[in-house]
């Protein structure tokens, strides 16, 4: 069990590094595009397209593998006022609703992305099913996360899942 936790931490760090590298690549491609367009007078049409593809992949894969639930925006006014058992019910219903909705829609999402094989990007001629496959990965990750949340809430350590957040975990610009 300790080994699985260690592997998960290593994979999380790798996902964070990939996300940071993707945003760095976007920035560098943007600067290169500006340089080529305004200094050399020869716009890099492929750079804009590549920026959009890298941005798309980085946003969905970062959300799927890097951002944790506690980092999401939540409206928890009622949740903070109720006891542990009611919190558990709220979280169970939320995980069932989100996970179930995404699970039911997953075949439709996959079918549509597979349908996109016919279309290509305008400059680099990449197949759109490949470009948008990151959305399928994200969608599946939401289903898996909801299932894991349900398992934790139905397990013996469910009280850890509903424990109030520490003040440093909740702090933001608004306090």
18 lies in the same domain as 87: no
How many structural domains is the chain composed of?
Answer: 2
Across the chain, mean pLDDT equals: 88
Predicted pLDDT at 133: 96
pLDDT in tens, 131-141: 999 999 999 99
Average pLDDT over residues 108-117: 96
Decide which of 10, 38, 67 is a domain's last residue.
67
Out of 3-12, 78-87, 138-147, pick the least confident. Answer: 3-12
* Domain extent for 36: 1-67
Tens digits of residue pLDDT in 34-52: 999 999 998 888 999 999 9
State which of 67, 88, 104 marks the end of a domain. Answer: 67
Cβ neighbours of 99 (radius 10 Å): 19
CA distance 7 to 26: 29
Q: 129 and 61, same structural domain?
A: no
At 31 the pLDDT is 95
């Amino acid at each position: 069990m300790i080994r699985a936790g260690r592997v998960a931490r290593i994979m999380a760090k790798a996902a964070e590094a990939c996300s940071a590298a993707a945003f760095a690549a976007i920035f560098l491609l943007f600067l290169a595009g500006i340089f080529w367009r305004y200094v050399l007078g020869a716009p890099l049409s492929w750079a804009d397209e590549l920026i959009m593809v890298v941005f798309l992949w980085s946003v969905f894969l970062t959300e799927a593998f890097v951002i944790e639930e506690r980092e999401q925006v939540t409206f928890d006014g009622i949740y903070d006022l109720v006891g542990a058992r009611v919190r558990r019910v709220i979280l169970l219903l939320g995980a069932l609703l989100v996970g179930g909705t995404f699970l039911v829609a997953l075949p439709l999402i996959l079918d549509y992305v597979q349908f996109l094989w016919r279309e290509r990007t305008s400059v680099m001629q990449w197949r759109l099913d490949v470009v948008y496959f990151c959305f399928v990965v994200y969608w599946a990750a939401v289903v898996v996360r909801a299932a894991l949340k349900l398992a934790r809430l139905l397990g013996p350590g469910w009280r850890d899942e509903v424990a109030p957040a520490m003040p440093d975990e909740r702090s933001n610009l608004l306090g």
